[in-house]
Structure 1
């Protein structure tokens, strides 16, 4: 299940990054493609599967966001990422500040997932 979770995470990152690039640098047709309903269904499905595998792994491994500080910070970063990402890409135009903030929070969540520690040392 870990491999599926990692694969889904990379798919989600790629979709978010690609949609942001289309919305920022694309022509009118590319911007419309970034908001296409079929693509949004794929994004929703990937993210929902990512949440299910993440919660399943959380239950199987027995981590707790209070005992394992990295997990608590990761969950907060993911909530912030979802909020900023939605703000950045939900309008007809890209909100660059929201997009860059979402990418920074996503990078933090990925770092915490890989290193499993919040502070170095």
Structure 2
């Protein structure tokens, strides 16, 4: 909108803001569902019996079932959704698109790490 006359920018601004809010709402619900899925995976830690794994499992670097499920979920989310939502290059994306998706990714990662701890 920087290249438009001020009058045109003023007229278009409310409509573009409404579109931006709808885009945020639709993408935010996807990230909320993913957060719930990842939290569910992490909660499986309470079902894990670490005493039965023994020293051999720790030496084999085998992941516990809950971490395997967590990794699968993150990989699925990344390949199916994030690869389509995040801009491939900085120059190819507008600041708002980058802000919506990048901010939500940071928030999701922060929440998952905090939930795990």
TM-score, length-scaled by structure 1: 0.40
Which structure would you say has the larger Rg?
Answer: 2
TM-score, length-scaled by structure 2: 0.41
Structure ranking higher on relative contact order (CA contacts 8 Å, 6+ apart): 2
